[in-house]
Amino acid sequence: MRTKMTTLLAAAGALTFAALSMPVAARSVEKIVDYKIGDGEYRGYVYYDDAVKQPLPLVVMVPNWLGTNADNREQAREIAARDYVVFVADMYGRDRQPADAAAAGQAVRALYSDRPELRRRAKAAKDEAVRYAGEARIADTSKVAIIGFCFGGGTALELARTGEPLAATVSFHGNLAIAAPDRNLKFRTRILALHGDADPYVPADQIEPFLVEMRSSGVDWELVHFGGAVHSFTDKKANQPGQSMYDAKTARRAFALMRDFLAEAFAAGVPG
SS3 for the chain, per residue? CHHHHHHHHHHHHHHHHHHHHCCCCCCEEEEEEEEEECCEEEEEEEEEECCCCCCEEEEEEECCCCCCCHHHHHHHHHHHCCCCEEEECCCCCCCCCCCCHHHHHHHHHHHHCCHHHHHHHHHHHHHHHHHHHHHHCCEEEEEEEEEEECHHHHHHHHHHHCCCCCCEEEEECCCCCCCCCCCCCCCCCEEEEEEECCCCCCCHHHHHHHHHHHHCCCCCEEEEEECCCCECCCCCCCEECCCEECCHHHHHHHHHHHHHHHHHHHHHCCCC
Residue 184 has a pLDDT of 63
Residue 3: inside a domain: no
Cα–Cα distance measured from residue 210 to residue 4, given in angstroms and rounded to the nearest whole number:
75
pLDDT in tens, 154-167: 999 999 999 999 99
CA-to-CA distance for 132 and 87, rounded, in angstroms?
9
Question: What is the CATH number for 208?
Answer: 3.40.50.1820
What would the pLDDT profile of 108-152 be if each residue is shown by its tens digit?
999 999 999 999 999 999 999 999 999 999 999 999 999 999 999
The four Cα atoms 134, 186, 90, 30 give a dihedral, to 10 degrees, of -30
Whether residue 9 lies inside any domain: the answer is no
Distances (CA, A) of 265 to 86, 116, 142, 153, 173: 16, 27, 11, 18, 21
β-bridge mates for residue 46, sequence order: 31, 87
Q: What percent of the chain has pLDDT over 70?
A: 88
The answer to whether the predicted template modeling score (pTM) of the entire model surpasses 0.85 is yes
Domain count, the chain: 1
Instruction: Establish if 14 belongs to a structural domain.
Output: no
Domain that holds residue 66: 32-267
Identify whether 10 is part of a domain: no
pLDDT per position as a tens digit, 10-51: 444 544 444 444 344 568 999 999 999 999 999 999 999 999
Residues 216-246: tens digit of each pLDDT: 899 999 999 999 999 999 999 999 999 999 9
Say whether pLDDT at 263 is over 90.
yes
Q: Is the pLDDT of residue 177 over 90?
A: no
Binned at pLDDT 50, 70 and 90, residue 53 comes out as confident
Q: What is the predicted pLDDT for the residue at 183?
A: 60
Residues in contact with 28: Cβ distance below 8 Å, sequence separation at least 6, in sequence order:
47, 48, 49, 77, 80, 81
Question: Which residues have C-beta within 8 Å of that of residue 259, sequence separation ≥ 6?
Answer: 83
Would you say residue 19 lies in a domain? no
The pLDDT assigned to 190 comes to 98
User: Which amino acid would we find at residue 142?
Assistant: S
Residue 152 located in a structural domain: yes
- Angle (deg, nearest 10), helices 101-112 and 151-161: 20
Tell me the per-residue pLDDT of 178-208, one tens digit each, with 9 for 90 and over. 666 566 678 999 999 999 999 999 988 899 9
Q: What is the pLDDT of residue 25?
A: 55
Whether residue 16 is contained in a domain is answered as no
Residue 208: Cβ within 10 Å count: 12
Residue 197 lies in a domain: yes
Distance, in Å, from the CA atom of 253 to the CA atom of 262, rounded to the nearest integer, reads 14
